Structure 1
Amino acid sequence: MARAHEDSPPSGLGKPGLTQYVLKVHSRCDLACDHCYVYEHADQSWRGQPMIMASSTVVAAAQRIAEHAVAHGLHAVHVVLHGGEPLLLGFDGLDQVIRRLRSIVDPVVPLRLSLQTNGIGLTPAICDLFVRERVGVGVSLDGDRAANDRHRRFRNGGSSYDRVRAALRLLRRPEFRAAYAGILCTIDVRNDPIDVYEAVRAEEPPRIEFLLPHATWDNPPPRPDGSATPYADWLLRIHRRWTDDGRPVPIRILDSLESTARGGPSHTEALGLDPVDVLVVESDGAWEQADSLKIAYHGAAATARTVFTHSVDETLGHPGLAARLTGLDALCAQCRSCPVVARCGGGLFAHRYRTGTGFANPSVFCADLKELMESTSMPPSPGEPPTAAIPADVIEEIATGHVSVATVDLLDQLQAELVEALLEELADTFAPVGDEHPWAALVRMSGDDPRTVREILGHPYVRVWADRCLRRQADPRLLGNLAAAAAIRTGRPATVQVVSAGGYVRLPAVAAVAVPGPAGLLPLTVGEAGTVSIAGRPLEPAAWSPVRHADTGAWSPALDDVDAHRDCFEWPVLPRLDEAAHRRWTSTLTAAYRIVADEAAGHLPGLTAGLRVITPLQPGADGSPRAATAREAYPAIGLAYAGPAEMAVLMVHEFQHVKLGALADHVDLYDPGFQARFRVGWRPDPRPVEGVLHGAYAHLAVAELWRSRPGEPAREKYLHYRDWTAEAAETLLASGALTGSGERFVRRLAQTLNSPAP
């Protein structure tokens, strides 16, 4: 029996390395915002900077970024074009910068480009450039006219509001929507939070980022009403309204609060203990730390290193940057002893500054941050599936092999968050031409029908495809096919570009649709009445090859024989089953399910809830059984056809691998750097820790099945599997490779193996 994962390293997004850079391509601005950290705070180094970044500086920065990506095996890097105001470069200047960056970085690693702007200089021609070159555009807007014009004005005092809204109207046009990345809004607590939220949401941004105003202990933030926590109060009012609205648009700080409450990453420098992952390149080529440090004192962001003289790794050795990579150890004693420090992380580094003690202080927004943490740490409502990091009692439950529906729900939820994070990262790496950006379409449909969209995104081969894209092994434009599948399932109108290849448009979890003609991009439209057309032609029923299910009565897994990325298993997959073969598979799976119910009933709740996709594999030439899982294809298994009794064993065996892989995505069970290999009873070759752990867990379930079967041959098989599993558990516990969670898991596994037969 083969398992594709035992020798495979855990999937991930790459080795440690810096992935985000800010390039100050133009150091002046056409607005005079009085809260700007570049021009209006302590650091006035902009006065000595070249107005425009020279082409030689762009090339040198791109080369440094590319060499760092190669050295660290990165799967993607993100460069933000910034200023000042980058649109002051004009069309030709922007075109040259973008082309130079792409020509140097893209051949090495996928380059995600974005640009942050006040929007004043945006034109249709520049929007067209951004769509063509896959540049996401973030626009600064502080709310309605009154809120925006408190700070964002021209030097003569004139309002910028109408010009900014004109830019946002451009980005909402269908031909330019793909370039629309979101809105950045700086908080002023004198503005009504709901009015600001409604005004910003009305611009239909793909995401919103609310920023605390930059302040230090020397220059504290305004607190006009005398409240101790006005910024928390302001954001919490939006949080309540946003939640009541069904969370129609991602809001970074609110999403971060929820992620950190679950023990996840913050995805922002302003919260949490995520390591700092950004370097700035000034217009003269100087490497600098985050721009926000300019509020502290003159020269606070400087490193005395340049793209011409120092690599990225050499720059990361700067004491200021090194200190910000040490997480909890970099915080002051007051922060380290705080109960919410894991979520807060001390707040934005710049906001901790005080003359005399430097940055060794809590954030000047400390009281607000603590209130935000405490007010967004409410327990889930009754019946709501848990979403926190996997607790110890659930780890022990998974170790028994007998998992509840609630535990499957937890693994599903965590897996969905992982996949959505991959997809969001992927969505930012390209911008298709025309129609609605597929990620924007998915966000919109999720607001209307979140359950159905999550089911589509949770189809196992979606993560396989996304993971391959980030390794440059698959076509990222298939995001359009994913959005089309969601539109068909939800019945929500949409028009997106889909990829046709090999005569089919393949829609994950839905169907393969036969489309004549050459491969390429085609517009797929889902109409108001649920009608589907491709390139303006309604689809005929005969063109559809839907994903079918094996309906056993109590359990109905999909038999996916059409997905383009189901080939992730060790063994080759079968082509589309004919109707007779599909009936045979359904009949055999029904019988196998009944055997599991009779012989290993403790596995039934988890298997019924969790094993939702089976892909038929080609049988071995010698008739030997074949079954496989792939870590990134949760919760699918691959099976070659076998008789019911053997199929029952294969299903239970492989679903053990599915559960353990999902657990290992979120809990470290062993030290990944542990190199030793160990002898096991079921293989002649020494196995790594991961292989021993997976084998022991899978054989625990197989032993249970054989223990329930009558006859001496069955008893001999049971003893083989029992002894193999017991020896492997002892080996793991004595290896020194297990973490605390891993030791707890293996001890519970061994106790289950030795428990009396039911």
Structure 2
Amino acid sequence: MDSPPVPFSDFILKVHSRCNLACDYCYVYEHADQSWRTRPLVMSETTMAAVVGRIRDHAQGHRLSRVSIGMHGGEPLLAGHDLIEKLAVRLRDSLQGICDPELWIQTNGVLLDERFCEIFLAQGIEVGISLDGGKVENDRHRVHANGKSSFSAVVRGISLLASERYRSLFSGLLCTIDTLNDPIAVYESLASFDPPALDLLLPHANWENPPAHQDGPGTAYADWLIRIFDRWNADLRPFPIRLFDSIIDTSFGGSSGVETIGLGSAEMVVVETDGTLEQVDHLKSTFEGAAYTGLDVLENSFDEAAAHPGIRARQVGLAGLAAECQACPLVTSCGGGLYAHRYRAGSGFDNPSVYCADLYRLIEHIRVSIDADEHTRPAPSERVHRIPRSSLRQLGQGHGDRAAINALRAGQRSLGRLLIASVYHATPAEPAARRAWLALTRIERHAPAELAAVLAHPYIRIRATDFLARAAEQRAGNGNSTESELRTLQREVLVAVAGAAAARTGTVLTLPTTVDGHDLYLPTLGLARFPSRGQPTEVTLTSSPQSLTIDTDDGSGLVLERGSGGVTAVRSDGVHWQPTRSRTVQGVMVALVDDDPYRNVYAEEPLPPVSDAEAALWWELLNGALDLIRREFPAYWPGVTGILAAITPLRPRHDGAQVSGTSRDAFGAVGVAAPDGPETLALLLLHEIQHAKLGALMDVVDLYDEQDSRLYPAAWREDLRPLEGLLQGTYAHIAVADFWRSRSSRPHEGADGVAQREYLRWRQGTDQGIETLVGSGSLTEIGLELALQMRSAVRGWA
């Protein structure tokens, strides 16, 4: 394997090896691996000290700014109040000045009491509770060793955790599926607790021990989950269900927020009570010793564990899947399923999941269902997007994990659809616009992911908002656009989107339009440039399963052909085609957008289309910048990978100052003048992605009182700023200060101390901005919580 091992960012610490329940599906006690019998009951003082030191060394050595540490078991609360508090205090003290650990605990809730909750509150430990439904559903499996019900004790624990004082600690409920339980009864019971999130887990099974209650290649588990999905979707998704959200997000090109599906790499390691280092412990459900590494935290580092062949095997993504999985059209969502579910004696894990048929049916159903039909689904404006409290805390720290970024992306997807729908409904549509709209609704039904990819093109929103502003002015009687001009603009927007989506999906349609000028831009595909002749050009787009043909009224034309590599020009008669250049850089698909007519939204002008040689330099710079961010700033990596979609080259300033920018209406795009090297580009990207994150958050929740018209000082500006500007600048400069904090701690930081001075400068300015925001009195409750998280993050730096 050529690439270096991926450092661990998720640590599972087994603080107690026994349990006070006897769940008959438990992979620790009831499956193939019985190594628990030889483990000590609790983690010893020696092991605790060793694991704390190893995590510190690993985080410091890899400059990790984010680590997740879970306390697990068995039942972790059996370890007692004192041990859990001592471990949490040691972890936080050890990582002080290195990173702010995310501490969590997964419990059955039976022993949860106020003393535990006070410890969790003081140490910032989030709590997840396992519950399989109502009393009947839960007690089918989750009972005490004597067979007595655990339900009432668990409900007491959940009620305590959900109380006003401790609600911020509640991370969600975890339910293991049993198809004998009624899915709607399970959903309603769990929903009654108003969980911040819900996990629905397939019971651990493999080809040697198939799932219960399923004959052959049936889809009983998919059918069960689909009933909950349909109900949850009809309820406007009142809380995250991580399995469903991950399928939706991966269907739109995002990353998975759960381990059970998706192509994410393994970044998790388990430490048993005796200090043994193991792979993910659901492997215990396959065969004796499956999770074994031969390593021990007392003798071995986490770097040695990261290089273990078993862990490396789960880091290769698509290439590590069975050939059948690699060829599957749903692989980007499924990811081959949970690693342990692929096991078969003889072929090991080189198989599809034993739940393959279930996953295929579930993913296909969700892809078809999401936002499928405007007439049967609520309008986008009626849907509710919520940012879970845990995600808000993540974002407040300046970072944002995959779940937080996916929540922001979901809001942007809905906003993009809302804007296109608003364009159609803003003014009576002429026939070509109606035809484009009907094509879009048809494409949305059979290829929602492809349409979403087109709508995610950053500058479509600029087109739509420009049109809607003109339409609003015209309705108010003070606009400069005539009704005819508005209809022309409406048609241009809808035809451009529908034409691009049709070309990507092979949808059969014919769209006439008029190009006023000599450019027709198809978002995500490229720019068709017609000969200028001083009058509008009548154009017809004809899409077939194989190609998109663009014909003009003067006989010139262009043929774009669909292939495995995308859409390419195969014939041009007097029409110049400039494709949008896209490339996967450090695992991130990025477009070099230098051709979109609506890209002029930055303080500096965009450059005209760059040459291939200049584009090669951009790719080299971007590769270096993303590599640096991935290695040295992993806490910001989910935000970069989840948001960055386009780079637009800008003109440099005459004074040589660095130039970069984002637009609230162009989510995913960063405008930047060619920097002096990858390090500078990394800094600019970190800064601009912060703006994008906060802008997306403000599209979903109110952070401040818009009636506040006061102007505030900002350390990075000579002029006074409105409250939104101060909030944006302060949030963005958390990343700037953090960048220089990391740079200043490098061994080769020069004697001139430039990085240290920059860190102190931006740290001080960020501190001042946060205190001004907190003291303004104009932040909403959520805005104040965000600002306090920002303060906590900055004060946590050494």
Contact 1:18 1:278 in 2 (8 A): yes
1:227 to partner: Cα distance:
7.8
Instruction: Give the SS at the match of 2:137.
Output: helix
Q: 1:82 to 1:602 in 2, by over 3 A?
A: same
The answer for the alignment partner of 2:203 in structure 1 is 213
1:224 to partner: Cα distance:
5.5
**Counterpart residue type for residue 37 of structure 2:** R
The answer for the alignment partner of 1:427 in structure 2 is 393
1:330 to partner: Cα distance:
1.3
Corresponding residue to 2:282 among 281, 287, 292? 292
1:355 to partner: Cα distance:
1.6
C-alpha separation in 1, matches of 2:218 and 2:592: 52
1:307 to partner: Cα distance:
1.7
Contact 2:10 2:268 in 1 (8 A): yes
The answer for the alignment partner of 2:372 in structure 1 is 381
What's the CA shift string for 1:113-144, capped at 9, x where partnerless?
Answer: 11000111111111121122111111111111
Contact 1:110 1:429 in 2 (8 A): no
1:702 to partner: Cα distance:
6.9
The answer for the alignment partner of 1:242 in structure 2 is 232
Instruction: Give the SS at the match of 1:272.
Output: coil
The answer for the alignment partner of 2:309 in structure 1 is 319
**Counterpart residue type for residue 729 of structure 1:** S
Q: 1:732 to 1:187 in 2, by over 3 A?
A: same
C-alpha separation in 2, matches of 1:95 and 1:272: 35
Instruction: Give the SS at the match of 1:378.
Output: helix
Instruction: Give the SS at the match of 1:113.
Output: strand
**Counterpart residue type for residue 173 of structure 2:** I
Corresponding residue to 1:170 among 160, 165, 168? 160
Contact 1:733 1:743 in 2 (8 A): no
Q: 1:672 to 1:420 in 2, by over 3 A?
A: farther
**Counterpart residue type for residue 341 of structure 1:** V
Corresponding residue to 1:725 among 597, 608, 611? 608
Contact 1:669 1:742 in 2 (8 A): no
The answer for the alignment partner of 1:371 in structure 2 is 361
C-alpha separation in 2, matches of 1:164 and 1:701: 55
The answer for the alignment partner of 2:619 in structure 1 is 737
**Counterpart residue type for residue 252 of structure 1:** R
- 1:128-527 counterparts in 2 under 5 A? 128-223=118-213, 228-378=218-368, 380-382=371-373, 424-427=390-393
C-alpha separation in 2, matches of 1:150 and 1:103: 42
- Structure 1 residue 83 corresponds to structure 2 residue 73: yes
What's the CA shift string for 1:518-544, capped at 9, x where partnerless?
Answer: xxxxxxxxxxxxxxxxxxxxxxxxxxx
1:233 to partner: Cα distance:
0.4
Contact 1:59 1:101 in 2 (8 A): no
1:732 to partner: Cα distance:
2.6
Q: 1:349 to 1:743 in 2, by over 3 A?
A: closer
C-alpha separation in 2, matches of 1:315 and 1:308: 12
C-alpha separation in 2, matches of 1:743 and 1:200: 41
For the aligned residues, what is the CA RMSD? 4.8
Which TM-score applies when normalising by structure 2?
0.52
1:74 to partner: Cα distance:
2.5
Contact 2:264 2:317 in 1 (8 A): yes
1:305 to partner: Cα distance:
1.2
**Counterpart residue type for residue 180 of structure 2:** R
1:148 to partner: Cα distance:
0.8
Instruction: Give the SS at the match of 2:173.
Output: strand
Contact 1:112 1:429 in 2 (8 A): no
C-alpha separation in 2, matches of 1:453 and 1:381: 14
Contact 1:143 1:195 in 2 (8 A): yes
What's the CA shift string for 1:310-345, capped at 9, x where partnerless?
Answer: 222221111111111011121122222222222211
Instruction: Give the SS at the match of 2:367.
Output: coil
- Structure 1 residue 62 corresponds to structure 2 residue 62: no
1:383 to partner: Cα distance:
5.4
Q: 1:244 to 1:426 in 2, by over 3 A?
A: closer
What's the CA shift string for 1:719-743, capped at 9, x where partnerless?
Answer: xx99x735x3354356593899999
Contact 2:7 2:306 in 1 (8 A): no
C-alpha separation in 1, matches of 2:35 and 2:395: 33
Q: 1:333 to 1:93 in 2, by over 3 A?
A: same
C-alpha separation in 2, matches of 1:452 and 1:324: 31
Instruction: Give the SS at the match of 1:280.
Output: strand
Instruction: Give the SS at the match of 1:376.
Output: helix
C-alpha separation in 2, matches of 1:58 and 1:76: 20
C-alpha separation in 2, matches of 1:744 and 1:454: 23
Corresponding residue to 1:114 among 80, 104, 120? 104
**Counterpart residue type for residue 52 of structure 1:** V
What's the CA shift string for 1:166-205, capped at 9, x where partnerless?
Answer: 1111111111111111111000100000001111111221
C-alpha separation in 2, matches of 1:367 and 1:89: 40
The answer for the alignment partner of 1:72 in structure 2 is 62
Q: 1:136 to 1:30 in 2, by over 3 A?
A: same
Contact 2:6 2:306 in 1 (8 A): no
Instruction: Give the SS at the match of 2:78.
Output: helix
1:58 to partner: Cα distance:
2.2
Name the % identity.
40
What's the CA shift string for 1:238-270, capped at 9, x where partnerless?
Answer: 001111111111111111111121121111111
Q: 1:316 to 1:701 in 2, by over 3 A?
A: closer
Q: 1:116 to 1:240 in 2, by over 3 A?
A: same
C-alpha separation in 1, matches of 2:598 and 2:189: 57
Higher deviation after alignment, 196-205 or 60-69: 60-69
1:602 to partner: Cα distance:
7.6
The answer for the alignment partner of 2:43 in structure 1 is 53
1:146 to partner: Cα distance:
1.2
C-alpha separation in 2, matches of 1:223 and 1:243: 26
Contact 1:66 1:109 in 2 (8 A): no
C-alpha separation in 2, matches of 1:137 and 1:317: 31
**Counterpart residue type for residue 24 of structure 1:** K
Contact 1:78 1:113 in 2 (8 A): yes
1:112 to partner: Cα distance:
0.6
- 1:499-648 counterparts in 2 under 5 A? none
**Counterpart residue type for residue 619 of structure 2:** A
C-alpha separation in 2, matches of 1:157 and 1:84: 18
Q: 1:325 to 1:53 in 2, by over 3 A?
A: same
Which TM-score applies when normalising by structure 1?
0.54
Corresponding residue to 1:22 among 12, 15, 25? 12
**Counterpart residue type for residue 76 of structure 2:** P
Contact 2:14 2:272 in 1 (8 A): yes
Contact 2:217 2:357 in 1 (8 A): no
Q: 1:383 to 1:149 in 2, by over 3 A?
A: closer
Instruction: Give the SS at the match of 1:256.
Output: helix
**Counterpart residue type for residue 230 of structure 1:** A
What's the CA shift string for 1:658-704, capped at 9, x where partnerless?
Answer: xxxxxxxxx99457589xxxxxxxxxxxxxxx9x968x66999779x
C-alpha separation in 1, matches of 2:250 and 2:286: 27
The answer for the alignment partner of 2:533 in structure 1 is none
Q: 1:230 to 1:382 in 2, by over 3 A?
A: closer
C-alpha separation in 2, matches of 1:177 and 1:184: 17
Instruction: Give the SS at the match of 2:611.
Output: helix
Instruction: Give the SS at the match of 2:118.
Output: helix
What's the CA shift string for 1:579-636, capped at 9, x where partnerless?
Answer: xxxxxxxxxxx99x99xx99xx989999xxxxxxxxxxxxxxxxxxxxxxxxxxxxxx
C-alpha separation in 1, matches of 2:492 and 2:58: 48
1:97 to partner: Cα distance:
1.3
